[in-house]
Structure 1
Amino acid sequence: MKLRDRFGIFFAGLVAGAAAMPLAAHAQDGEALTGPAADYPIVLGEPYMIDGETFTPVDTMNYDRVGYVSADEDGSGGVTGAHKTLPLPSYVEVTSLETGRTILVRLERRGPMTTDRLLALSPGALVQLGASNGTPIRVRRVNPPEDHRAMLRQGGGAPLRMDTPASLVEVLKRRLPDAGSASLRDPRQDSVSGREPDAASIAAIDPSADLAKPPLQSLPVDAEADVNKAGEQADAGENPEPMAQSAEDENEPADPDLPKVDGGRFVVQLGAFSVRDNAERLAEKVEGFIISSGSLSLVRIGPFASREKAAQALAKLRSEGYRDALIQTAE
Protein backbone atom coordinates (compact mmCIF):
# COMPACT_ATOMS: atom_id res chain seq x y z
CA MET A 1 0.00 0.00 0.00
CA LYS A 2 1.33 3.41 -0.93
CA LEU A 3 2.36 5.77 1.86
CA ARG A 4 -0.21 8.33 0.70
CA ASP A 5 -2.98 5.72 0.87
CA ARG A 6 -1.90 4.72 4.38
CA PHE A 7 -1.93 8.35 5.43
CA GLY A 8 -5.34 8.85 3.88
CA ILE A 9 -6.84 5.93 5.79
CA PHE A 10 -5.19 7.03 9.04
CA PHE A 11 -6.29 10.64 8.58
CA ALA A 12 -9.88 9.71 7.70
CA GLY A 13 -10.12 7.60 10.84
CA LEU A 14 -8.57 10.32 12.96
CA VAL A 15 -10.98 12.99 11.72
CA ALA A 16 -13.99 10.71 11.98
CA GLY A 17 -13.03 9.77 15.52
CA ALA A 18 -12.60 13.39 16.50
CA ALA A 19 -15.93 14.24 14.93
CA ALA A 20 -17.67 11.59 17.01
CA MET A 21 -16.15 12.61 20.34
CA PRO A 22 -18.47 15.56 21.14
CA LEU A 23 -21.54 13.42 20.43
CA ALA A 24 -20.30 10.55 22.57
CA ALA A 25 -19.32 12.84 25.41
CA HIS A 26 -22.70 14.51 25.34
CA ALA A 27 -24.50 11.18 25.36
CA GLN A 28 -22.61 10.09 28.48
CA ASP A 29 -24.12 12.98 30.43
CA GLY A 30 -27.57 11.41 30.18
CA GLU A 31 -29.69 9.30 27.91
CA ALA A 32 -28.65 8.59 24.33
CA LEU A 33 -29.54 11.41 21.98
CA THR A 34 -32.64 10.92 19.84
CA GLY A 35 -34.60 13.02 17.37
CA PRO A 36 -33.09 16.15 15.79
CA ALA A 37 -30.72 16.56 18.76
CA ALA A 38 -28.87 13.45 17.56
CA ASP A 39 -27.50 15.50 14.64
CA TYR A 40 -25.88 18.06 16.97
CA PRO A 41 -23.31 19.33 17.57
CA ILE A 42 -22.25 19.77 13.94
CA VAL A 43 -18.50 19.32 13.48
CA LEU A 44 -16.40 21.14 10.88
CA GLY A 45 -12.73 20.95 11.81
CA GLU A 46 -9.55 22.68 10.70
CA PRO A 47 -8.25 23.01 7.12
CA TYR A 48 -6.12 20.12 5.90
CA MET A 49 -4.22 19.10 2.77
CA ILE A 50 -4.53 16.27 0.26
CA ASP A 51 -1.92 15.97 -2.47
CA GLY A 52 -0.84 19.57 -1.88
CA GLU A 53 -4.38 21.00 -2.07
CA THR A 54 -5.98 22.66 0.95
CA PHE A 55 -9.54 21.75 1.92
CA THR A 56 -11.39 23.97 4.40
CA PRO A 57 -14.52 22.48 6.02
CA VAL A 58 -17.40 24.97 5.86
CA ASP A 59 -21.15 24.86 6.47
CA THR A 60 -22.23 25.37 2.84
CA MET A 61 -26.01 25.27 2.50
CA ASN A 62 -26.40 25.58 -1.27
CA TYR A 63 -23.98 22.77 -2.11
CA ASP A 64 -24.61 21.22 -5.54
CA ARG A 65 -21.81 19.54 -7.53
CA VAL A 66 -21.12 16.81 -10.05
CA GLY A 67 -18.12 14.53 -9.88
CA TYR A 68 -17.18 10.90 -9.23
CA VAL A 69 -17.73 8.49 -6.36
CA SER A 70 -15.29 6.20 -4.61
CA ALA A 71 -15.83 3.19 -2.37
CA ASP A 72 -15.33 3.91 1.33
CA GLU A 73 -13.95 0.55 2.40
CA ASP A 74 -13.45 1.76 5.97
CA GLY A 75 -16.95 3.19 6.19
CA SER A 76 -19.49 2.08 8.74
CA GLY A 77 -22.57 0.07 7.96
CA GLY A 78 -25.72 1.69 6.70
CA VAL A 79 -26.09 4.36 4.03
CA THR A 80 -23.33 6.79 4.93
CA GLY A 81 -20.66 8.80 3.18
CA ALA A 82 -17.40 10.71 3.51
CA HIS A 83 -16.94 14.27 2.24
CA LYS A 84 -14.03 16.67 2.36
CA THR A 85 -15.71 19.89 3.48
CA LEU A 86 -19.42 19.59 4.38
CA PRO A 87 -20.41 19.49 8.09
CA LEU A 88 -20.47 16.22 9.98
CA PRO A 89 -23.15 15.08 10.14
CA SER A 90 -25.12 16.47 7.23
CA TYR A 91 -27.39 14.99 4.56
CA VAL A 92 -27.06 14.90 0.79
CA GLU A 93 -28.97 13.51 -2.12
CA VAL A 94 -26.66 11.50 -4.37
CA THR A 95 -27.73 10.84 -7.97
CA SER A 96 -26.10 8.30 -10.26
CA LEU A 97 -25.49 9.97 -13.60
CA GLU A 98 -25.60 6.54 -15.21
CA THR A 99 -29.13 5.60 -14.15
CA GLY A 100 -30.74 8.68 -12.56
CA ARG A 101 -31.34 6.79 -9.30
CA THR A 102 -31.18 9.14 -6.30
CA ILE A 103 -30.64 8.22 -2.65
CA LEU A 104 -30.34 10.04 0.68
CA VAL A 105 -26.96 9.73 2.43
CA ARG A 106 -25.76 10.79 5.88
CA LEU A 107 -22.24 12.25 5.82
CA GLU A 108 -20.30 11.05 8.86
CA ARG A 109 -16.61 11.08 7.90
CA ARG A 110 -13.93 13.06 6.08
CA GLY A 111 -12.79 11.78 2.69
CA PRO A 112 -12.15 10.57 0.11
CA MET A 113 -8.43 11.17 0.57
CA THR A 114 -7.82 11.85 -3.12
CA THR A 115 -8.52 14.98 -5.13
CA ASP A 116 -10.11 13.23 -8.12
CA ARG A 117 -13.17 11.92 -6.22
CA LEU A 118 -16.06 14.03 -4.93
CA LEU A 119 -17.60 11.62 -2.41
CA ALA A 120 -16.90 8.25 -0.79
CA LEU A 121 -19.87 5.97 -0.06
CA SER A 122 -20.21 3.05 2.32
CA PRO A 123 -20.87 -0.39 0.81
CA GLY A 124 -24.55 -0.12 1.73
CA ALA A 125 -24.87 3.25 0.04
CA LEU A 126 -23.17 1.97 -3.12
CA VAL A 127 -25.59 -0.96 -3.26
CA GLN A 128 -28.64 1.26 -2.81
CA LEU A 129 -27.38 3.68 -5.48
CA GLY A 130 -26.41 0.84 -7.82
CA ALA A 131 -22.96 2.42 -8.25
CA SER A 132 -19.32 1.41 -8.08
CA ASN A 133 -15.93 3.10 -7.81
CA GLY A 134 -15.73 5.88 -10.42
CA THR A 135 -19.46 6.21 -11.15
CA PRO A 136 -20.35 9.82 -12.09
CA ILE A 137 -22.67 11.41 -9.53
CA ARG A 138 -24.45 14.57 -8.50
CA VAL A 139 -24.26 15.56 -4.81
CA ARG A 140 -26.80 18.06 -3.46
CA ARG A 141 -27.13 19.04 0.21
CA VAL A 142 -30.70 18.76 1.51
CA ASN A 143 -32.72 19.08 4.72
CA PRO A 144 -34.68 15.79 4.88
CA PRO A 145 -37.61 14.95 7.16
CA GLU A 146 -36.73 13.78 10.65
CA ASP A 147 -38.09 10.26 10.07
CA HIS A 148 -35.69 9.81 7.15
CA ARG A 149 -32.80 11.15 9.24
CA ALA A 150 -33.65 8.66 11.96
CA MET A 151 -33.57 5.76 9.49
CA LEU A 152 -30.03 6.68 8.46
CA ARG A 153 -28.85 7.31 12.03
CA GLN A 154 -30.06 3.83 13.00
CA GLY A 155 -27.99 2.20 10.26
CA GLY A 156 -30.75 1.69 7.72
CA GLY A 157 -31.59 3.39 4.45
CA ALA A 158 -34.16 6.09 3.72
CA PRO A 159 -36.71 5.60 0.92
CA LEU A 160 -35.39 6.20 -2.57
CA ARG A 161 -35.84 9.74 -3.82
CA MET A 162 -37.54 10.57 -7.10
CA ASP A 163 -35.42 9.41 -10.04
CA THR A 164 -33.76 12.22 -11.98
CA PRO A 165 -35.24 12.40 -15.53
CA ALA A 166 -33.01 11.05 -18.29
CA SER A 167 -33.01 14.42 -20.05
CA LEU A 168 -31.63 16.15 -16.95
CA VAL A 169 -29.07 13.37 -16.40
CA GLU A 170 -27.69 14.05 -19.89
CA VAL A 171 -27.44 17.76 -19.09
CA LEU A 172 -25.62 17.07 -15.83
CA LYS A 173 -23.21 14.66 -17.53
CA ARG A 174 -22.16 17.48 -19.86
CA ARG A 175 -21.04 19.41 -16.77
CA LEU A 176 -18.73 16.61 -15.60
CA PRO A 177 -15.00 17.36 -15.72
CA ASP A 178 -12.55 14.66 -16.78
CA ALA A 179 -11.45 14.40 -13.14
CA GLY A 180 -12.41 16.07 -9.87
CA SER A 181 -15.74 17.88 -9.64
CA ALA A 182 -17.61 20.92 -10.91
CA SER A 183 -20.15 23.19 -9.23
CA LEU A 184 -23.71 23.59 -10.48
CA ARG A 185 -24.11 26.84 -8.55
CA ASP A 186 -23.26 30.47 -9.17
CA PRO A 187 -19.43 30.79 -9.02
CA ARG A 188 -19.86 33.66 -6.55
CA GLN A 189 -21.18 31.12 -4.05
CA ASP A 190 -18.79 28.32 -4.93
CA SER A 191 -17.21 27.60 -1.57
CA VAL A 192 -16.01 24.02 -1.99
CA SER A 193 -12.59 23.59 -0.37
CA GLY A 194 -12.98 27.12 0.96
CA ARG A 195 -11.44 28.44 -2.25
CA GLU A 196 -12.50 31.61 -4.00
CA PRO A 197 -13.67 31.18 -7.60
CA ASP A 198 -11.03 31.87 -10.22
CA ALA A 199 -10.65 35.37 -11.65
CA ALA A 200 -12.01 34.39 -15.06
CA SER A 201 -15.27 33.12 -13.55
CA ILE A 202 -15.75 36.29 -11.52
CA ALA A 203 -14.96 38.55 -14.49
CA ALA A 204 -17.62 36.82 -16.58
CA ILE A 205 -20.42 37.59 -14.10
CA ASP A 206 -22.61 40.67 -14.26
CA PRO A 207 -22.14 42.31 -10.81
CA SER A 208 -25.67 43.72 -10.97
CA ALA A 209 -27.23 40.27 -11.42
CA ASP A 210 -29.55 38.97 -8.74
CA LEU A 211 -27.89 36.80 -6.08
CA ALA A 212 -30.87 35.10 -4.51
CA LYS A 213 -31.55 32.78 -7.46
CA PRO A 214 -28.10 31.92 -8.88
CA PRO A 215 -28.30 30.86 -12.55
CA LEU A 216 -26.58 27.87 -14.12
CA GLN A 217 -24.91 30.13 -16.62
CA SER A 218 -23.36 27.60 -18.96
CA LEU A 219 -26.51 25.50 -19.41
CA PRO A 220 -28.92 25.94 -22.33
CA VAL A 221 -32.22 27.60 -21.45
CA ASP A 222 -34.22 24.36 -21.59
CA ALA A 223 -31.64 22.52 -19.48
CA GLU A 224 -31.57 25.31 -16.90
CA ALA A 225 -35.33 25.00 -16.56
CA ASP A 226 -34.98 21.24 -15.99
CA VAL A 227 -32.36 21.74 -13.26
CA ASN A 228 -34.43 24.39 -11.47
CA LYS A 229 -37.58 22.32 -11.72
CA ALA A 230 -35.85 19.25 -10.29
CA GLY A 231 -34.50 21.27 -7.37
CA GLU A 232 -37.93 22.72 -6.63
CA GLN A 233 -39.55 19.27 -6.66
CA ALA A 234 -36.98 17.91 -4.22
CA ASP A 235 -37.36 20.87 -1.88
CA ALA A 236 -41.14 20.64 -1.95
CA GLY A 237 -41.03 17.20 -0.37
CA GLU A 238 -38.65 18.23 2.40
CA ASN A 239 -39.58 21.84 3.15
CA PRO A 240 -43.37 22.17 2.90
CA GLU A 241 -43.37 25.94 3.45
CA PRO A 242 -44.99 27.66 0.44
CA MET A 243 -42.81 29.64 -1.94
CA ALA A 244 -44.18 33.21 -2.08
CA GLN A 245 -42.72 34.04 -5.49
CA SER A 246 -45.06 35.54 -8.07
CA ALA A 247 -44.31 36.36 -11.69
CA GLU A 248 -44.06 40.04 -10.79
CA ASP A 249 -41.35 39.63 -8.15
CA GLU A 250 -39.61 36.40 -9.21
CA ASN A 251 -36.32 38.22 -9.80
CA GLU A 252 -35.79 39.01 -6.14
CA PRO A 253 -37.20 37.67 -2.85
CA ALA A 254 -39.21 40.11 -0.82
CA ASP A 255 -37.78 41.62 2.35
CA PRO A 256 -38.86 39.18 5.07
CA ASP A 257 -40.78 40.39 8.12
CA LEU A 258 -38.90 38.40 10.73
CA PRO A 259 -39.46 37.76 14.45
CA LYS A 260 -37.81 40.28 16.74
CA VAL A 261 -34.09 39.79 17.35
CA ASP A 262 -33.80 39.44 21.11
CA GLY A 263 -30.34 38.09 21.81
CA GLY A 264 -29.44 34.49 22.51
CA ARG A 265 -27.45 31.67 20.95
CA PHE A 266 -29.46 30.81 17.82
CA VAL A 267 -29.03 32.41 14.40
CA VAL A 268 -30.31 31.76 10.89
CA GLN A 269 -27.62 31.55 8.22
CA LEU A 270 -28.62 32.49 4.66
CA GLY A 271 -25.47 31.83 2.70
CA ALA A 272 -21.68 31.62 2.40
CA PHE A 273 -20.04 33.94 -0.13
CA SER A 274 -16.55 33.98 -1.57
CA VAL A 275 -17.05 37.60 -2.68
CA ARG A 276 -17.68 39.83 0.35
CA ASP A 277 -19.51 42.55 -1.62
CA ASN A 278 -22.23 40.03 -2.45
CA ALA A 279 -22.54 39.04 1.20
CA GLU A 280 -22.84 42.69 2.21
CA ARG A 281 -25.65 43.26 -0.31
CA LEU A 282 -27.64 40.35 1.07
CA ALA A 283 -26.94 41.28 4.70
CA GLU A 284 -28.16 44.83 4.07
CA LYS A 285 -31.30 43.57 2.35
CA VAL A 286 -32.34 41.28 5.22
CA GLU A 287 -30.90 43.48 8.00
CA GLY A 288 -28.49 40.72 8.94
CA PHE A 289 -24.80 40.61 9.80
CA ILE A 290 -21.64 39.00 8.44
CA ILE A 291 -19.02 36.82 10.07
CA SER A 292 -15.87 35.52 8.40
CA SER A 293 -14.98 31.85 8.08
CA GLY A 294 -11.64 31.53 6.35
CA SER A 295 -12.00 33.16 2.94
CA LEU A 296 -15.81 33.07 3.14
CA SER A 297 -18.33 35.64 4.38
CA LEU A 298 -21.33 34.10 6.16
CA VAL A 299 -24.61 36.06 6.17
CA ARG A 300 -26.69 35.52 9.31
CA ILE A 301 -29.79 36.91 11.05
CA GLY A 302 -30.31 37.00 14.80
CA PRO A 303 -29.43 36.06 17.42
CA PHE A 304 -32.66 34.64 18.85
CA ALA A 305 -33.23 33.58 22.44
CA SER A 306 -34.73 30.19 21.54
CA ARG A 307 -34.65 27.67 18.74
CA GLU A 308 -38.41 28.13 18.35
CA LYS A 309 -38.00 31.81 17.46
CA ALA A 310 -35.14 30.96 15.11
CA ALA A 311 -37.40 28.35 13.48
CA GLN A 312 -40.07 31.02 12.92
CA ALA A 313 -37.48 33.20 11.19
CA LEU A 314 -36.28 30.22 9.15
CA ALA A 315 -39.81 29.42 7.95
CA LYS A 316 -40.39 33.04 6.98
CA LEU A 317 -37.10 33.26 5.08
CA ARG A 318 -37.79 30.08 3.15
CA SER A 319 -41.30 31.26 2.28
CA GLU A 320 -39.74 34.42 0.85
CA GLY A 321 -37.44 32.45 -1.44
CA TYR A 322 -34.33 31.84 0.70
CA ARG A 323 -34.62 28.06 0.44
CA ASP A 324 -31.11 27.29 1.69
CA ALA A 325 -31.46 29.12 5.02
CA LEU A 326 -30.42 27.04 8.04
CA ILE A 327 -30.46 27.40 11.84
CA GLN A 328 -27.04 27.60 13.47
CA THR A 329 -25.73 28.13 17.00
CA ALA A 330 -24.07 31.51 17.40
CA GLU A 331 -20.33 31.36 17.93
Structure 2
Amino acid sequence: MTQFPLSLPLVIVAALILSGCASSPPPETDHSSRYTISQDRAPEDDFDVSGLGDARPQYEAPRSAGNKSPYTVWGKQYTVMDSNHGYVERGTASWYGEKFHGHKTSNGEVFDMYEMSAAHKSLRIPGYARVTNLDNGRSVIVRVNDRGPFHGDRLIDLSYAAAKKLGYQGKGTARVEVAAITVEKDGTMTLAGRPFSGGGEPVPLEKVADNADVSSGASGLFVQLGSFSSRNPAEVLLGKARGVIENPMRVRAVDTASGRFHRVQVGPFRNPDEARQAQARLENRGFGQTILLTDSH
Protein backbone atom coordinates (compact mmCIF):
# COMPACT_ATOMS: atom_id res chain seq x y z
CA MET A 1 0.00 0.00 0.00
CA THR A 2 1.31 3.38 -0.90
CA GLN A 3 2.25 5.49 2.07
CA PHE A 4 1.40 9.25 1.92
CA PRO A 5 3.41 11.75 3.88
CA LEU A 6 1.67 13.18 6.93
CA SER A 7 1.85 16.69 5.44
CA LEU A 8 -0.41 15.79 2.48
CA PRO A 9 -3.75 16.43 4.28
CA LEU A 10 -2.55 19.91 5.13
CA VAL A 11 -1.77 20.52 1.46
CA ILE A 12 -5.23 19.31 0.46
CA VAL A 13 -6.92 21.53 3.04
CA ALA A 14 -4.96 24.55 1.85
CA ALA A 15 -5.88 23.83 -1.76
CA LEU A 16 -9.58 23.58 -0.86
CA ILE A 17 -9.42 26.90 0.95
CA LEU A 18 -7.79 28.59 -2.04
CA SER A 19 -10.28 27.08 -4.49
CA GLY A 20 -13.11 28.30 -2.28
CA CYS A 21 -11.74 31.86 -2.47
CA ALA A 22 -11.40 31.65 -6.21
CA SER A 23 -14.99 30.50 -6.65
CA SER A 24 -16.53 33.14 -4.41
CA PRO A 25 -18.68 35.69 -6.26
CA PRO A 26 -16.86 38.83 -7.41
CA PRO A 27 -17.74 42.10 -5.72
CA GLU A 28 -20.44 44.29 -7.26
CA THR A 29 -19.23 46.29 -10.24
CA ASP A 30 -17.77 49.64 -9.20
CA HIS A 31 -18.67 52.27 -11.78
CA SER A 32 -15.74 54.38 -10.59
CA SER A 33 -13.07 51.75 -11.31
CA ARG A 34 -11.84 53.39 -14.50
CA TYR A 35 -11.34 56.68 -12.66
CA THR A 36 -8.72 55.14 -10.38
CA ILE A 37 -6.37 55.30 -13.37
CA SER A 38 -4.32 58.42 -12.82
CA GLN A 39 -3.80 59.54 -16.41
CA ASP A 40 -5.79 58.90 -19.57
CA ARG A 41 -4.41 59.77 -22.97
CA ALA A 42 -5.31 60.41 -26.59
CA PRO A 43 -4.29 57.93 -29.30
CA GLU A 44 -0.78 58.38 -30.67
CA ASP A 45 -2.00 58.77 -34.25
CA ASP A 46 -3.69 62.01 -35.33
CA PHE A 47 -7.23 60.68 -35.70
CA ASP A 48 -9.17 62.61 -38.37
CA VAL A 49 -12.75 63.32 -37.26
CA SER A 50 -13.72 65.46 -40.25
CA GLY A 51 -15.62 62.60 -41.86
CA LEU A 52 -17.01 61.13 -38.65
CA GLY A 53 -20.79 61.44 -38.41
CA ASP A 54 -22.91 61.88 -35.31
CA ALA A 55 -24.58 58.99 -33.54
CA ARG A 56 -27.92 58.25 -35.21
CA PRO A 57 -30.74 58.30 -32.64
CA GLN A 58 -33.09 55.35 -32.85
CA TYR A 59 -35.61 53.65 -30.62
CA GLU A 60 -34.04 51.16 -28.21
CA ALA A 61 -36.14 49.12 -25.81
CA PRO A 62 -35.56 49.86 -22.11
CA ARG A 63 -32.91 47.67 -20.50
CA SER A 64 -31.94 46.85 -16.96
CA ALA A 65 -28.19 46.72 -17.73
CA GLY A 66 -26.50 49.87 -16.46
CA ASN A 67 -29.70 51.35 -15.02
CA LYS A 68 -29.58 50.14 -11.43
CA SER A 69 -30.96 52.91 -9.23
CA PRO A 70 -29.83 54.10 -6.84
CA TYR A 71 -26.16 53.16 -7.09
CA THR A 72 -23.18 54.22 -5.03
CA VAL A 73 -19.72 55.31 -6.16
CA TRP A 74 -16.99 56.38 -3.74
CA GLY A 75 -19.55 56.66 -0.96
CA LYS A 76 -21.88 58.94 -2.91
CA GLN A 77 -25.30 57.79 -4.07
CA TYR A 78 -26.67 58.52 -7.55
CA THR A 79 -30.14 58.03 -9.01
CA VAL A 80 -30.93 57.06 -12.61
CA MET A 81 -33.75 59.01 -14.22
CA ASP A 82 -37.05 57.25 -14.98
CA SER A 83 -37.07 58.96 -18.38
CA ASN A 84 -34.67 61.18 -20.35
CA HIS A 85 -37.54 63.17 -21.84
CA GLY A 86 -37.10 66.91 -21.44
CA TYR A 87 -33.64 66.74 -19.90
CA VAL A 88 -31.31 69.69 -20.57
CA GLU A 89 -28.44 70.83 -18.37
CA ARG A 90 -25.20 72.77 -18.54
CA GLY A 91 -21.89 71.97 -16.95
CA THR A 92 -18.36 70.71 -17.55
CA ALA A 93 -17.54 67.97 -20.06
CA SER A 94 -14.41 65.84 -19.92
CA TRP A 95 -13.35 62.96 -22.17
CA TYR A 96 -11.93 59.47 -21.94
CA GLY A 97 -9.81 57.58 -24.43
CA GLU A 98 -7.01 55.08 -24.88
CA LYS A 99 -6.77 53.61 -21.38
CA PHE A 100 -10.42 52.57 -21.51
CA HIS A 101 -10.54 51.66 -25.19
CA GLY A 102 -11.79 48.08 -25.56
CA HIS A 103 -13.12 47.78 -22.00
CA LYS A 104 -16.76 47.24 -21.13
CA THR A 105 -19.10 50.15 -20.46
CA SER A 106 -21.65 50.12 -17.64
CA ASN A 107 -24.29 48.42 -19.77
CA GLY A 108 -21.93 45.69 -20.98
CA GLU A 109 -21.01 47.13 -24.37
CA VAL A 110 -17.42 47.73 -25.43
CA PHE A 111 -16.07 51.27 -25.29
CA ASP A 112 -14.60 52.55 -28.55
CA MET A 113 -12.91 55.95 -28.26
CA TYR A 114 -13.36 56.47 -32.01
CA GLU A 115 -17.16 56.31 -31.82
CA MET A 116 -19.59 59.05 -30.81
CA SER A 117 -20.45 57.93 -27.30
CA ALA A 118 -20.62 59.30 -23.78
CA ALA A 119 -20.96 58.55 -20.07
CA HIS A 120 -23.50 60.25 -17.81
CA LYS A 121 -24.37 59.75 -14.15
CA SER A 122 -28.16 59.84 -14.36
CA LEU A 123 -29.48 59.56 -17.94
CA ARG A 124 -31.02 56.18 -18.75
CA ILE A 125 -28.77 54.08 -20.96
CA PRO A 126 -28.58 53.52 -23.78
CA GLY A 127 -29.83 56.96 -24.74
CA TYR A 128 -28.92 59.88 -26.98
CA ALA A 129 -27.99 63.49 -26.37
CA ARG A 130 -26.87 66.55 -28.26
CA VAL A 131 -23.82 68.14 -26.65
CA THR A 132 -22.97 71.75 -27.51
CA ASN A 133 -19.64 73.40 -26.71
CA LEU A 134 -20.77 76.77 -25.35
CA ASP A 135 -17.43 78.42 -26.13
CA ASN A 136 -17.44 77.76 -29.89
CA GLY A 137 -21.02 76.76 -30.75
CA ARG A 138 -20.10 73.31 -32.11
CA SER A 139 -22.56 70.47 -31.48
CA VAL A 140 -22.44 66.68 -31.71
CA ILE A 141 -24.95 63.91 -31.10
CA VAL A 142 -23.68 61.05 -28.95
CA ARG A 143 -25.02 57.72 -27.73
CA VAL A 144 -24.91 57.52 -23.94
CA ASN A 145 -23.98 53.99 -22.87
CA ASP A 146 -21.81 54.41 -19.77
CA ARG A 147 -21.80 55.85 -16.24
CA GLY A 148 -19.67 58.75 -15.07
CA PRO A 149 -17.86 61.06 -14.77
CA PHE A 150 -17.36 60.95 -11.01
CA HIS A 151 -14.68 63.64 -10.77
CA GLY A 152 -15.90 66.77 -9.01
CA ASP A 153 -18.85 68.49 -10.62
CA ARG A 154 -18.32 67.23 -14.19
CA LEU A 155 -21.55 66.68 -16.08
CA ILE A 156 -20.64 64.33 -18.93
CA ASP A 157 -17.69 62.31 -20.22
CA LEU A 158 -17.38 62.12 -24.01
CA SER A 159 -15.40 59.69 -26.10
CA TYR A 160 -12.13 61.07 -27.46
CA ALA A 161 -13.64 61.35 -30.96
CA ALA A 162 -16.66 63.34 -29.75
CA ALA A 163 -14.44 65.66 -27.71
CA LYS A 164 -12.22 66.27 -30.72
CA LYS A 165 -15.24 67.15 -32.87
CA LEU A 166 -16.23 69.67 -30.22
CA GLY A 167 -12.69 71.08 -30.23
CA TYR A 168 -11.66 70.61 -26.60
CA GLN A 169 -9.62 67.39 -26.62
CA GLY A 170 -6.44 69.43 -26.13
CA LYS A 171 -7.76 71.31 -23.10
CA GLY A 172 -9.37 68.32 -21.42
CA THR A 173 -12.64 69.98 -20.43
CA ALA A 174 -15.22 72.37 -21.87
CA ARG A 175 -18.40 74.18 -20.88
CA VAL A 176 -21.25 72.37 -22.56
CA GLU A 177 -24.98 72.01 -22.78
CA VAL A 178 -26.40 68.49 -22.78
CA ALA A 179 -29.89 68.06 -24.24
CA ALA A 180 -31.44 64.59 -24.25
CA ILE A 181 -32.88 63.16 -27.47
CA THR A 182 -35.69 60.67 -26.95
CA VAL A 183 -37.00 58.37 -29.68
CA GLU A 184 -40.42 56.69 -29.59
CA LYS A 185 -41.32 53.34 -31.15
CA ASP A 186 -42.82 55.12 -34.19
CA GLY A 187 -39.57 57.01 -34.77
CA THR A 188 -40.73 60.42 -33.54
CA MET A 189 -38.05 62.31 -31.61
CA THR A 190 -37.80 65.10 -29.11
CA LEU A 191 -34.82 67.26 -28.16
CA ALA A 192 -35.02 68.53 -24.57
CA GLY A 193 -38.74 67.81 -24.73
CA ARG A 194 -39.40 69.65 -28.02
CA PRO A 195 -40.14 68.08 -31.43
CA PHE A 196 -36.92 67.22 -33.24
CA SER A 197 -36.26 65.94 -36.76
CA GLY A 198 -32.70 64.82 -36.12
CA GLY A 199 -31.27 67.57 -38.31
CA GLY A 200 -30.93 71.35 -38.11
CA GLU A 201 -33.96 72.03 -36.00
CA PRO A 202 -34.35 75.51 -34.50
CA VAL A 203 -33.27 75.59 -30.86
CA PRO A 204 -35.19 77.78 -28.40
CA LEU A 205 -33.07 80.68 -27.18
CA GLU A 206 -33.45 79.70 -23.53
CA LYS A 207 -31.76 76.39 -24.29
CA VAL A 208 -28.53 77.93 -25.60
CA ALA A 209 -28.19 81.42 -24.18
CA ASP A 210 -26.43 80.69 -20.87
CA ASN A 211 -29.34 82.22 -18.93
CA ALA A 212 -28.56 85.45 -20.75
CA ASP A 213 -29.97 88.83 -19.86
CA VAL A 214 -31.46 89.38 -23.30
CA SER A 215 -33.18 92.67 -24.00
CA SER A 216 -36.78 92.50 -25.18
CA GLY A 217 -37.47 92.84 -28.86
CA ALA A 218 -38.81 91.09 -31.92
CA SER A 219 -37.86 87.44 -32.26
CA GLY A 220 -35.83 86.31 -35.27
CA LEU A 221 -34.36 83.15 -36.69
CA PHE A 222 -30.55 83.04 -36.89
CA VAL A 223 -27.76 80.66 -37.83
CA GLN A 224 -25.12 80.84 -35.10
CA LEU A 225 -21.56 80.11 -36.22
CA GLY A 226 -19.79 80.36 -32.88
CA SER A 227 -19.65 81.90 -29.43
CA PHE A 228 -16.52 83.39 -27.85
CA SER A 229 -15.57 84.97 -24.55
CA SER A 230 -13.43 87.52 -26.45
CA ARG A 231 -14.67 89.75 -29.26
CA ASN A 232 -11.61 89.50 -31.54
CA PRO A 233 -12.09 85.85 -32.62
CA ALA A 234 -15.78 86.56 -33.13
CA GLU A 235 -14.94 89.43 -35.49
CA VAL A 236 -12.48 87.20 -37.38
CA LEU A 237 -15.16 84.54 -37.86
CA LEU A 238 -17.65 87.21 -38.95
CA GLY A 239 -15.22 88.44 -41.61
CA LYS A 240 -14.80 84.91 -42.96
CA ALA A 241 -18.56 84.44 -43.13
CA ARG A 242 -18.99 87.69 -45.07
CA GLY A 243 -16.66 86.28 -47.69
CA VAL A 244 -18.98 83.36 -48.50
CA ILE A 245 -22.54 84.58 -47.93
CA GLU A 246 -24.36 87.88 -48.46
CA ASN A 247 -27.00 87.60 -45.75
CA PRO A 248 -27.04 90.10 -42.88
CA MET A 249 -24.93 89.02 -39.91
CA ARG A 250 -23.73 90.31 -36.60
CA VAL A 251 -21.64 89.76 -33.49
CA ARG A 252 -24.09 89.77 -30.59
CA ALA A 253 -22.65 90.46 -27.12
CA VAL A 254 -24.62 88.69 -24.40
CA ASP A 255 -24.07 89.05 -20.66
CA THR A 256 -24.53 85.76 -18.85
CA ALA A 257 -24.03 84.32 -15.40
CA SER A 258 -20.67 83.01 -16.66
CA GLY A 259 -19.54 86.31 -18.17
CA ARG A 260 -19.90 88.11 -21.50
CA PHE A 261 -19.99 86.09 -24.72
CA HIS A 262 -19.83 87.24 -28.33
CA ARG A 263 -22.02 85.21 -30.69
CA VAL A 264 -21.52 85.25 -34.44
CA GLN A 265 -24.96 85.02 -36.02
CA VAL A 266 -26.24 85.15 -39.60
CA GLY A 267 -29.77 86.48 -40.05
CA PRO A 268 -32.50 87.13 -39.22
CA PHE A 269 -34.38 84.88 -41.65
CA ARG A 270 -38.06 85.03 -42.48
CA ASN A 271 -38.68 81.30 -42.20
CA PRO A 272 -36.88 78.04 -41.30
CA ASP A 273 -36.41 77.02 -44.95
CA GLU A 274 -34.35 80.14 -45.75
CA ALA A 275 -32.33 79.68 -42.58
CA ARG A 276 -31.57 76.02 -43.35
CA GLN A 277 -30.50 76.88 -46.90
CA ALA A 278 -28.03 79.43 -45.53
CA GLN A 279 -26.90 76.97 -42.88
CA ALA A 280 -26.18 74.34 -45.54
CA ARG A 281 -24.18 76.83 -47.65
CA LEU A 282 -22.09 77.84 -44.65
CA GLU A 283 -21.39 74.27 -43.58
CA ASN A 284 -20.44 73.33 -47.15
CA ARG A 285 -17.89 76.14 -47.05
CA GLY A 286 -16.22 74.74 -43.96
CA PHE A 287 -18.00 76.47 -41.08
CA GLY A 288 -18.46 73.23 -39.17
CA GLN A 289 -21.55 72.44 -37.17
CA THR A 290 -23.77 75.50 -36.87
CA ILE A 291 -26.78 76.06 -34.64
CA LEU A 292 -30.18 77.22 -35.86
CA LEU A 293 -31.89 79.24 -33.12
CA THR A 294 -34.39 81.92 -32.31
CA ASP A 295 -33.03 85.14 -30.86
CA SER A 296 -34.17 88.72 -30.26
CA HIS A 297 -32.97 91.66 -32.34
Q: Which is strand-richer, 1 or 2?
A: 2
Q: Which has the larger radius of gyration?
A: 2
In the superposition, the TM-score normalised over structure 1's length comes to 0.35
More helix by share: 1
- TM-score, normalised relative to structure 2: 0.38
